[in-house]
Amino acid sequence: MDFYLILGLVFGILGIVLMIALVIGCGAFIIWFIRSWDKAKKQRQVNAETQRRQHNGQSVLEWDGPRAIGNPDPEFGPLVEEFPRKGGGSARFYERGLVLYQKRVPYGSLSDIFFDPGEAEQGKDLKEAIQNSAVLWLYRKGLHRTLAIRDFQYGFDHSSCEKIRDGLGFRND
């Protein structure tokens, strides 16, 4: 047999083996990443369920800081925190629910809350500003749309978002 034919065959088989190993490795990484995300999400949900049991099965925003000034809502109770929206309107967090845009969301319909503090640098264009912004993600149960409260749309500080997340029981342990 020709030396170059054998060498080509060996490198061809080696390339196929490496590609198969790469595909298997990528698949294993994706599965590990999804499982670790689900594990953290389940722990936050367990924390929220524990808090609901403390309040007779109701989701109540526990708040130890100063409360916002405003009228109570007939369905959701007293106003706890308000984030003014640039250009008018606001996100209002009441004791038992949230009013965002024209949506009324009781806290019992939330499956998870995640706060991403973002990066200090705003970015050069709108795409980078959105990617670098701080955001409070509100995941609702069922086939409802996820709600996002971003810092370039609303005036909030990071400690308020963390207090809301922790006050509803979705804290990271």
Residue with tokens 């810092």: 151
The beta-strand segments (E) located in the chain are 79-84, 90-94, 97-100, 103-106, 110-116, 135-140, 147-150
Q: Using an 8 Å Cβ cutoff, are 148 and 137 in contact? A: yes
Q: Please, what are the averages of pLDDT over each run of 10 residues along the chain (173 residues)? A: 84 93 94 81 78 76 80 85 84 86 84 79 72 82 81 78 82 70
**Which tokens sit at 134?**
């701080």
* Per-residue pLDDT at 148: 83
Rounded to whole angstroms, how far apart are CA atoms 16 and 119? 41
* Per-residue pLDDT at 27: 94
Domain limits, the chain: 1-173
What pTM was computed for the model?
A: 0.69
* Per-residue pLDDT at 24: 95
Rounded to whole angstroms, how far apart are CA atoms 79 and 152? 23
Residue with tokens 């709108």: 126
Q: Using an 8 Å Cβ cutoff, are 56 and 68 in contact? A: no
* Per-residue pLDDT at 173: 65
**Residue type, position 93, single letter:** F
Question: Assign residue 44 a region: left if phi > 0, alpha if psi is -120 to 50, beta otherwise?
Answer: alpha
Q: Which residues are CB-contacts of 4 (< 8 A; sequence separation ≥ 6)?
A: none
* Per-residue pLDDT at 30: 92
Rounded to whole angstroms, how far apart are CA atoms 60 and 156? 21
* Per-residue pLDDT at 122: 67
* Buried b or exposed e, range 93-110, using 16+ CB within 10 angstroms: bbbbbbbbeeeebebebb
